[in-house]
Amino acid sequence: MASSVLGLNSDGVPNGAVDCTRPADERRADDELVQRMRAGDETAYETLIARFQQPVYNLAFRLLNDPGDAGDVVQEVFLKVFRNVGHFRRQSSLKTWIYRITVNEAHNQRRWFFRHRSREVALEDEPEASYKAVSDSGRSPFDYTCDRERQLFIENALARINPLFREVVVLRDIEELSYEEIADVLQISLGTVKSRIMRGREALRTELTARLEPEPVLRWAPE
Amino acid sequence: MNCEKVRKTLSAFLDRNLGRGAFDSMSRHLAHCRDCSTYAQELTELRSVLRGLPARTPPSRLITELQVLASRERVRQLSRGTLTALVHFWIGEMRHLFENLMRPIAIPFAGGLTSAVFLFAMLVPTLQLRHISGALDVPSGLFTQSEAAVDISPPFSFIPDDVVVQLTIDEHGSVVDCSIPNGVNSKLRNDIANMILFTKFQPATEFGVPIGGKMLVSFRRIVVKG
């Protein structure tokens, strides 16, 4: 019963759980890519951009919830990757290393925002610019509107929880990193990762639940 | 296992990050505790909702900026690398420079060259080029005719009439046959034979090689008054 309720499969594994074992091929591909970048191979730079631009942007956007800031972070991340690829020691995977830089840059961006930009007003409003045009798949505009509202609702809730919790929730539930990879990215212990994931999910659940509860109705009561 | 402990470890349970014993214990508890089961279901749905969020796509402007950034950093890295890398870098730069310079003139150059070849091919047949040759040159690509040369004056008087004879000459210049018109008398026939004996012939040539052939020899009487 519990299995069906929790969405577990016949092996007791939650549906959609990620196999966290890193294939050796990916590790070899990472090593080769790093070697080519160190040698100044132009195509290696293009390969790195093509492979990581979307995940890095997605992670930065989820951590900052602002497309402009996410774009700035992505540029900073790739600049650091290009300049420090010679110092990459292969103690972690390339993906983990780049994600670590992304999280750190998002931290810096957030700090900078609170110091300088919190009083600024953006001239360009481009929240829709990051969406691709969607072809007609038979769904009605009402369906799209509902999906969009639901997505905004979740994103806003995610943006309101503690950034420390948001990081682990995003890395685990959106980027689907393993606990070990998250510990490696955030440079924290495995126990801290487990604790933050639990508290982050609980915080997000609480936030969503609070937003879904009906507003108190104001009634006029005659004296 | 009580409900408080279950809730603290439920995330790890859903992520399958528990030991076998704790996993079984959690499963048993969730099978009987309605509140914890409901809570677990909410967390599962929360995970699926988060995973269902569409991936954000970076704007195209950002991708272009990243490519420019990569190009600059690559140049910067190469310019600070080893001597070999530096040499390769400058070779590549020079090659690019050469290609950029040559590309604009490649098509006009090819067009001009083609036009020149075409016009030259059209004009060559109409040109009257002077033939330059030496006396000792042997024609190598043409046919030449046999030639006759009289070495010494024959010790006899000759031929009262005009007559034309046909001689067959072999590759050594020797006369192997002659054809004299029927109306010639025997004396004239003898004179012609004597004249042929005193005459040397050069054989015809084909690509510089002597070959046999025929030639017509005309005898004429010249009358000098006085």
CA distance B217 to B41: 127
pLDDT, residue A179, reads 92
Looking at beta carbons, which residues of chain B come within 8 Å of A198? 8-12
Contact B12 A151 (CB under 8 A): no
pLDDT value for A53: 92
Q: How far is CA B24 from CA A142, B13, B36, in A?
A: 44, 10, 15
**What distance separates the 2 farthest-apart alpha carbons in chain B?**
163
pLDDT at A127 over 60: no
Q: Using CB atoms, pick whichever of B37, B63, B71 lies closest to residue A2.
A: B37
**How does the average pLDDT of chain B come out, rounded?**
82
| DSSP per-residue letters across chain A | -HHHHHTB-TTSPBTT----PPPHHHHHHHHHHHHHHHTT-HHHHHHHHHHHHHHHHHHHHHHH--HHHHHHHHHHHHHHHHHHGGG--SSS-HHHHHHHHHHHHHHHHHHHHHHTGGG---S---TTTTSPP----S--HHHHHHHHHHHHHHHHHHHHS-HHHHHHHIIIIIS---HHHHHHHHT--HHHHHHHHHHHHHHHHHHHHHHHSPPPPP-----
pLDDT tens readout for residues B58-89: 898 999 999 999 988 888 877 776 777 778 77
Q: How confident is the model at residue A41 (pLDDT cuts 50, 70, 90)?
A: confident
Show residues of chain B in contact with A39, CB under 8 Å: 85
A104 has pLDDT over 60: yes
Q: For the segment A75-89, what is each residue's pLDDT rounded down to a tens digit?
A: 999 999 988 888 888
Q: In this predicted model, what pLDDT tens digit does every residue of A174-208 receive, in sequence order?
A: 999 999 999 999 999 999 999 999 999 999 999 88
Q: Shortest CB distance from B74 goes to which of A45, A179, A204?
A: A45
Cβ–Cβ < 8 Å for A166, A63:
yes
pLDDT of residue A145: 80
Q: Which two tokens stand for residue B65?
A: 């900026």
From the CA of A173, how many Å to the nearest CA of chain B? 6
Asked if B31 lies within 8 A of A42 by C-beta distance, the reply is: no
Q: Does A12 touch chain B (CB under 8 A)?
A: yes
List the single residue in A with minimal CA-CA distance to B69.
Answer: A79
Kindly state the helix (H) or strand (E) to which residue B214 belongs, with its residue range.
strand B213-219
CA–CA gap between residue B179 and residue B167 (Å, rounded): 6
pLDDT at A9 over 50: no
Q: Which of B23, B49, B74 sits opposite A154 (nearest CB)?
A: B49
Q: Can you list the positions of beta strands (E) in B33-87?
A: none
Using CB atoms, pick whichever of A3, A169, A194 lies closest to residue B17. Answer: A194
Q: Quote the pLDDT of residue A11.
A: 42
End-to-end CA distance of chain A: 55
Residue recorded with tokens 């759980």: A17
CA nearest B70 in A: which residue? A45
CB burial readout A189-209, b (16+ within 10 A) else e: eeeebbbbbbbbbbbbbebbe
- pLDDT at residue A3, rounded to an integer: 44
Q: Which residue has the higher pLDDT, A63 or B203?
A: A63
ipTM of the complex: 0.71
**A56-65, A212-221, B143-152: which has the highest mean pLDDT?**
A56-65
| Greatest mean pLDDT range, A146-150, B108-112, B144-148 | B108-112
Nearest to B61 by CA among A99, A53, A108: A53
Residues comprising chain B, all counted: 226
Task: Report how far residue A148's alpha carbon sits from residue A128's, in angstroms, rounded to the nearest whole number.
Answer: 11
Contact assignment for A57 to B50 by CB distance below 8 Å: no
Q: Which of A44, A32, A30 is nearest to A82 (CA)?
A: A44
Of all residues in chain A, the one with the smallest CA distance to B7 is A198
Give B144 or B51, the one with higher predicted confidence: B51
Please determine, for residue A130, whether its predicted confidence score (pLDDT) is greater than 50.
no
Tell me the residues of chain A between 100 and 129 that have a Cβ less than 8 Å away from chain B: 126, 129
For residue B185, what pLDDT band results from cuts at 50, 70 and 90?
Answer: confident
Contacts of A75 in chain B (CB under 8 A): 62, 65-66, 69
Radius of gyration of chain B (CA): 55
* B100-132 b/e (C-beta count within 10 Å ≥ 16 → b): eeeeeeeeeeeeeeeeeeeeeeeeeeeeeeeee
Instruction: Provide mean pLDDT across the span B12-38.
Output: 87
Q: Give the distance from residue A107's alpha carbon to the nearest chain B alpha carbon, in angstroms.
A: 19
Instruction: Write the burial class of residue B95 (CB in 10 Å: 0-12 exposed, 13-18 middle, 19+ buried).
Output: exposed
Partners of residue A149 in chain B, C-beta under 8 Å: none
Mean pLDDT of chain A: 79
Of A76, A173, A166, whose CA–CA distance to B49 is shortest?
A: A173
Nearest residue of chain B to residue A7 (CA atoms): B44
Using CA atoms, how far apart are residues A173 and A99, in angstroms rounded to an integer?
Answer: 15
Closest partner residue to B17 (CB to CB) among A45, A173, A179 is A179
When pLDDT is averaged across residues B89-109 and rounded to a whole number, the result is 86
For residue A4, what pLDDT is reported? 43
Torsional class of B86: left (φ above 0), alpha (ψ -120 to 50), beta (otherwise): alpha
Cα distance between residue B111 and residue B117, in whole Å: 10
E strands present in B56-212 = 143-144, 147-150, 163-169, 175-179, 199-202, 204-206, 209-211
For position A213, what pLDDT does the model report?
Answer: 62
Give the residue carrying structure tokens 């970048």.
A37
A182 — phi, psi (to 5°)? -65, -45
pLDDT level of residue A6 (50, 70, 90 thresholds): very low
Residue percentage of chain B with pLDDT more than 90? 7
What's the order of all strands across the beta sheet hosting B204-206? B143-144, B204-206, B209-211
Q: Which among A6, A53, A82 is the nearest to B40, CB-wise?
A: A6
Whether this prediction's pTM lies above 0.80 is answered by no
Size of interface A-B (CB pairs under 8 A): 143
Name residue B62's amino acid.
Answer: L
- HSE-CB at B60 with a 13 A cutoff on CA atoms is 1
Nearest by CB to residue B58, choosing from A7, A17, A57, is A57
Question: Which residues of chain A from 19 to 78 reach within 8 Å of chain B, CB to CB?
Answer: 39-40, 42, 45-46, 48-49, 53-54, 57-58, 61-62, 67, 70-71, 74-75, 78
Residue of B nearest to A178 (CA): B15
Backbone angles phi, psi at B212, to 5 degrees: -80, 155
What gap in Å lies between CA A171 and CA A179, rounded to an integer?
9
Chain-chain contact of A1 with B31 (C-beta, under 8 angstroms): yes
